[in-house]
């Protein structure tokens, strides 16, 4: 919406219409502590050409995966997107449709959501999928709410430290005003100890969250965690990486088919680009027994009065459609466009394409992790199998300086972990997707080795100066 200023006469007319003497009177209800009593700190006005140049300069300070070699991960990854995803996702009937989840939604949109749900169920081995949520973190929190609602009388949630820290933060925010205890289990070895999990479980535990692979890229013992949770009468919520299911066991197949009860994921890696924090796609699926606890909406397939197949919104347990106290969630919008992109991506790759993509991620990650571990700068932080990501400990304990030097050399080197894990303040999380070439990986290793030599030369120079 363009900004149009109001003339003094127009302002006076509006104030008269609502019976207020002045703007000050209109804002009188705002406490004085929250009101700004000075002019905004803005630079002088610019002409159009000058403003365009200024904005270009500001935009040029951003770096992304299109102009740097990207090793960033931690929940958002630089995966390849086939052109067909943009071609179909950009069609007008999908791209411009507003509120594509109301009762009058077009059959084409309904079929797209139905296909997405079907693909998610095949991908995860679960019975039911909704037609998406905001993002992976909110999907995890909604999964916890489902578990608590299905386990009345239980008010304990177990989550390992290896669960994405922002997911844990979102869950704690959801539960802040409820009588629910969230217990974080330590993971000093990079993965959850099953013995510690069993010791923490009790008859008050509603659910256990397990991320596979976890935030550090490490592979958890999902079968044992599922068995432990179910033996204690708790549900298992699996937080999974969709790409990893090209190689890893589906959550629905954990523990010889006993399976996770609820599965959630961030779905942006299925055909949506990195975009400075979103929008993303929350995947949520579950066993059939939990379907009436599921947030969001479900599209079903049926036949019309002429016997022709058609699609219909089957279940919407949102407060807009049913009594508020009966609603499972206050989630109001899904991510239909990004769910469509995920459906196109999965249909385009198929099982073989997903397996090949996951295989490339695994092989290239292993190659770079092994090469970097031989340098003088880094050593592995954890001694467990990984997929797509790994954690390195910086022997010089200066991760920020390394990242800055790498940026100058053309690399987005990774995610520092100190902001979430003080004991990992000297560690870097590095992600490798199928897009990285061997030449890029070798060039990054060469940069690390050259940096170590430069540091060594500088130290020798300082020693020489100290001896005169």
> How confident is residue 467, by pLDDT bands cut at 50, 70 and 90?
low
The more confidently predicted of residues 457 and 200 is 200
Query: In whole angstroms, what separates CA 351 from the centre of its chain?
Result: 23
> How confident is residue 106, by pLDDT bands cut at 50, 70 and 90?
confident
326 and 373 housed in the same domain: no
Confirm whether 16 is domain-assigned: no
Q: Which of 346, 373, 406 is the last residue of a domain?
A: 346
176 and 289 housed in the same domain: yes
Number of domains in the chain: 2
Q: Please give the average per-residue pLDDT across 65-87, as a whole number.
A: 96
Q: Which of 314, 346, 378 is the last residue of a domain?
A: 346
Crossing angle for the helix pair 438-466 and 336-373, to the nearest 10 degrees:
50
323 and 176 housed in the same domain: yes
Strand, helix or coil at 197?
A: helix
From the list 269, 327, 310, 261, the residue with the least C-alpha distance to 289 is 261
Residue pair 439/367 in contact (Cβ under 8 Å)? The answer is no
User: Is 403's pLDDT higher than 70?
Assistant: yes
Q: Where are the beta strands (DSSP E) in 12-63?
A: none
Confirm whether 462 is domain-assigned: no
315 and 227 housed in the same domain: yes
Per DSSP, helices labelled H in 175-289 are: 194-200, 222-231
422 and 279 housed in the same domain: no
Per DSSP, helices labelled H in 184-323 are: 194-200, 222-231
Check residue 314 and give its pLDDT: 87
Confirm whether 466 is domain-assigned: no
DSSP-assigned letter for residue 157? E
Confirm whether 63 is domain-assigned: no
Q: What phi and psi, each to the nearest 5 degrees, are found at residue 431?
A: -115, 140
Q: In what order do the strands lie in the sheet with 205-212?
A: 128-129, 282-286, 262-266, 235-240, 205-212, 156-160, 181-185
Please report, for the domain that includes residue 361, its CATH number. 3.90.1150.10
pTM: 0.88
Strand, helix or coil at 29?
A: coil
- Residue-wise pLDDT tens digits, 414-429: 999 999 999 999 999 9
143 and 229 housed in the same domain: yes
CA distances from 49 to 45, 46, 53, 54, 58 (A): 12, 8, 6, 9, 14
256 and 342 housed in the same domain: yes
- On the question of a cis peptide bond just before residue 296, with omega within 30 degrees of 0, the verdict is no
- Residue-wise pLDDT tens digits, 311-368: 998 887 665 566 666 677 766 566 889 999 999 999 999 999 999 999 999 999 999 9
Q: Which of 311, 346, 381 is the last residue of a domain?
A: 346
- Tally Cβ neighbours within 10 Å of residue 269: 25
The more confidently predicted of residues 326 and 283 is 283
From the list 386, 440, 347, 325, the residue with the least C-alpha distance to 112 is 347
- Residue-wise pLDDT tens digits, 15-51: 999 999 999 899 999 998 999 889 899 889 999 999 9
Confirm whether 23 is domain-assigned: no
Q: How far apart are CA 312 and CA 300, in angstroms?
A: 5
194 and 181 housed in the same domain: yes
Residue pair 65/381 in contact (Cβ under 8 Å)? The answer is no
Q: How far apart are CA 175 and CA 141, in angstroms?
A: 9
Torsion angle, alpha carbons of 387, 264, 164, 211, to 10 = -50
Indicate the average pLDDT of the chain: 92
374 and 396 housed in the same domain: yes
User: Is 210's pLDDT higher than 60?
Assistant: yes
223 and 278 housed in the same domain: yes
Query: Helix count (H) and strand count (E) of the chain?
Result: 13, 15
Contacts of 263 (CB under 8 A, 6+ apart): 124, 126, 143, 237, 238, 239, 240, 251, 252, 283, 284, 285, 286
From the list 444, 445, 454, 376, the residue with the least C-alpha distance to 412 is 444
Confirm whether 72 is domain-assigned: no
- Residue-wise pLDDT tens digits, 137-157: 999 999 999 999 999 999 999
241 and 295 housed in the same domain: yes
Enclosing domain of residue 237 = 83-346
252 and 334 housed in the same domain: yes
Q: Is 271 exposed, middle or buried (0-12, 13-18, 19+ CB in 10 A)?
A: buried
Please report, for the domain that includes residue 252, its CATH number. 3.40.640.10
């Amino acid at each position: 919406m363009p900004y149009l200023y109001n003339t003094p006469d127009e302002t006076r007319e509006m104030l008269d219409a609502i019976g207020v003497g002045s703007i000050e009177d209109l804002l009188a209800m705002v406490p004085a502590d929250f009101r700004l009593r000075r002019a905004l700190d803005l630079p002088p006005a610019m002409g159009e050409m000058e403003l365009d140049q200024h904005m270009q300069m500001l935009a040029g300070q951003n770096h992304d995966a299109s102009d740097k070699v990207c090793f960033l991960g931690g929940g958002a990854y630089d995966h390849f997107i086939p052109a067909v995803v943009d071609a179909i996702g950009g069609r007008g009937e999908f791209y411009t449709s507003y509120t594509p989840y109301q009762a009058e939604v077009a059959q084409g949109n309904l079929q797209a959501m139905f296909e997405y749900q079907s693909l998610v169920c095949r991908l995860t081995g679960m019975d039911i999928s909704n037609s998406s949520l905001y993002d992976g973190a909110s999907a995890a929190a909604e999964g916890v709410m489902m578990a608590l609602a299905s386990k009345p009388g239980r008010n304990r949630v177990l989550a390992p430290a290896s669960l994405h820290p922002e997911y844990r933060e979102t869950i704690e925010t959801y539960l802040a005003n409820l009588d629910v205890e969230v217990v974080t289990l330590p993971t000093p070895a990079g993965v959850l100890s099953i013995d510690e999990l069993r010791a923490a479980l009790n008859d008050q535990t509603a659910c256990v969250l397990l991320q596979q692979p976890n935030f550090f890229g490490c592979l958890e013992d999902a079968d044992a965690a599922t068995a432990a949770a179910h033996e204690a009468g708790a549900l298992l919520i699996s937080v999974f990486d969709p790409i990893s299911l090209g190689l890893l066991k589906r959550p629905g197949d954990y523990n010889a088919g006993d399976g996770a009860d609820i599965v959630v994921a961030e779905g942006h890696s299925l055909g949506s680009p990195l975009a400075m924090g979103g929008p993303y796609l929350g995947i949520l699926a579950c066993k059939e027994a939990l379907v009436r606890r599921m947030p969001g909406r479900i599209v079903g397939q049926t036949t019309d009065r002429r016997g022709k197949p058609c699609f219909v919104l089957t279940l919407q347990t949102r407060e807009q459609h049913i009594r508020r106290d009966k609603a499972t969630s206050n989630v109001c919008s899904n991510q239909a466009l990004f769910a469509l992109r995920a459906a196109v991506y999965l249909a385009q790759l198929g099982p073989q394409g997903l397996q090949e993509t996951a295989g490339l991620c695994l092989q290239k990650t292993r190659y770079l992790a092994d090469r970097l571990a031989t340098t003088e700068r880094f050593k592995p932080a954890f001694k467990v199998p990984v997929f797509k990501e790994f954690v390195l400990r910086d022997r010089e304990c200066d991760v920020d300086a390394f990242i800055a030097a790498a940026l100058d050399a053309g690399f987005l080197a990774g995610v520092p972990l100190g902001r979430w894990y003080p004991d990992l303040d000297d560690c870097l999380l590095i992600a490798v997707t199928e897009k990285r070439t061997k030449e890029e990986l070798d060039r990054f290793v060469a940069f690390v080795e050259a940096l170590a030599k430069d540091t060594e030369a500088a130290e020798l120079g300082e020693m020489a100066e100290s001896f005169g």
